[in-house]
Structure 1
Amino acid sequence: MILNNLNYPLDFKFKISTLSSDFNITDKNGNYVAYVRQKMFKFKEDVIVFNDESRSKEIFRIQANQWIDFNSSYSIKSVATGESFGRLARKGMKSIWKAKYDIIGSNDQMKYSISEDNGWTKVFDSMIGEIPVIGMFTGYFLNPSYSVKDKSGQILFRLKKMPSLIGRRFQLDRLVDIPDEDESLVVLSYLMMVLLERSRG
């Protein structure tokens, strides 16, 4: 199973009414692409992707491959077929300054990479966030973006955190067409990356 006929931009919008990190993915017309739920109180990351907010049908599962989070990779599988799309791998020490991840295909070869466009955004967000009153509004003007590139360095997708008081909305644009299965792998990798980056602050 793949995500197909996606109408960009896609909106990732976190729910504020739940303790878990649930969020909706909708297309430019407001149609559901997926509903994402991160299982709470797990030693290893466990994320379920449903067809919509009713959670009536699981379509993908993303699970950490090891307990130690710092250098983990995250397997991405279709629930219907048990097929592995590949995995998302955090690039360890390189992720301290700017978020960097590898998107690895089902053949265990690196296909694409995700990188934060400007590491200073996170630094300024942390610094200004400590200032009374002013720090409450960093979500309106300090918003990181993350680009997916192929092996030649061409930018294919870009995810941007959208201005908001509590930083709960992201928007994903496709800049270049790629094969449907690869596109699904990229979108699923992005949703896992958003959960990981939000948990880091």
Structure 2
Amino acid sequence: MVLKNLNYPLDFKFKISTLSSDFNITDRNGNYVAYVRQKMFKLKEDVIVFNDESKSKELFRIRANQWIDFNASYSLNDLTDNKNYGRLARKGMRSLWKSSYDILDSNDQTKFTVTEDNAWTKFFDGMVSEIPLIGMFTGYFLNPAYTVKGMDGKEYFKLKKMPSFFGRRFQLDRVIDIDDEDESLVILSLLMMVLLERARG
């Protein structure tokens, strides 16, 4: 299946009542788009995307392709149509300073890149978060943003961390229209990226 006719912006909101990294994706009207659950205690990341919080229907599954995640990539699979969309690949050394990812299609061709807009935000967030008391509030004023570009150089999506306690909310906006299948590929990649970036701090 493809994710289509979505009303942007989309909100990614993490639940703080569970040990696992669960989050809801809702549209601008508050309607469910998906419910994302990362399986705990796995040597390799394993993420299931459900239709909603009832978890009555599995839509997609994302799995890491290797144990060591320094240069890991994550396969994006449609469970409804038994189809592979492609994969999200982290750019190793560059990610130490400024987060950068490639989004590849099912033919392993790079279709989009995701780049953190300002590397200093993560740098200062890491420093300030170590300061007692003050570090608790970094989620309100140090919030990274990311841009998704196509191979044509155009900007297609903007993802930003929203001010919130515990850094629990992200917002995704579409800049220009995109093919439904490519849109699904990007959204699946970004929800995996959000889990990875949030884990890094």
TM norm structure 2: 0.98
CA distance in 1, matches of 2:183, 2:80: 18
- The size of the alignment, in residue pairs, is 201
Q: Residue 22 of structure 2 aligns to which amino acid in structure 1?
A: D
- For residues 45-85 of structure 1, the C-alpha deviation after alignment (integer angstroms, 9 at most, x for no partner) is 10000000000000000001111111111000110121001
Task: Give the deviation of 1:153 after TM superposition.
Answer: 2.3
Instruction: Point out where structure 1 has 5 or more consecutive residues left out of the alignment.
Output: none
Secondary structure in structure 2 of the residue aligned to 1:30: coil
Q: Which residue of 1 aligns with 2:60?
A: 60
Q: Which residue of 2 aligns with 1:189?
A: 189
CA distance in 1, matches of 2:80, 2:188: 16
Q: Which residue of 1 aligns with 2:80?
A: 80
TM norm structure 1: 0.98
1:32 aligns with 2:70: no
Identity of aligned residues (%): 74
Q: Residue 5 of structure 2 aligns to which amino acid in structure 1?
A: N
CA distance in 2, matches of 1:67, 1:21: 19
Secondary structure in structure 2 of the residue aligned to 1:166: helix
Q: Which residue of 1 aligns with 2:145?
A: 145
Q: Which residue of 2 aligns with 1:50?
A: 50
- For residues 157-188 of structure 1, the C-alpha deviation after alignment (integer angstroms, 9 at most, x for no partner) is 00010001211000000001110000000011
Q: CA RMSD in A?
A: 0.7
Instruction: Note the 1:107-186 alignment, pairs <5 A.
Output: 107-186=107-186
Q: Residue 107 of structure 1 aligns to which amino acid in structure 2?
A: N
Task: Give the deviation of 1:151 after TM superposition.
Answer: 1.2
Task: Give the deviation of 1:132 after TM superposition.
Answer: 2.1
Task: Give the deviation of 1:152 after TM superposition.
Answer: 2.9
CA distance in 2, matches of 1:129, 1:59: 36
Q: Which residue of 1 aligns with 2:12?
A: 12
Q: Residue 70 of structure 1 aligns to which amino acid in structure 2?
A: F
Instruction: Point out where structure 2 has 5 or more consecutive residues left out of the alignment.
Output: none
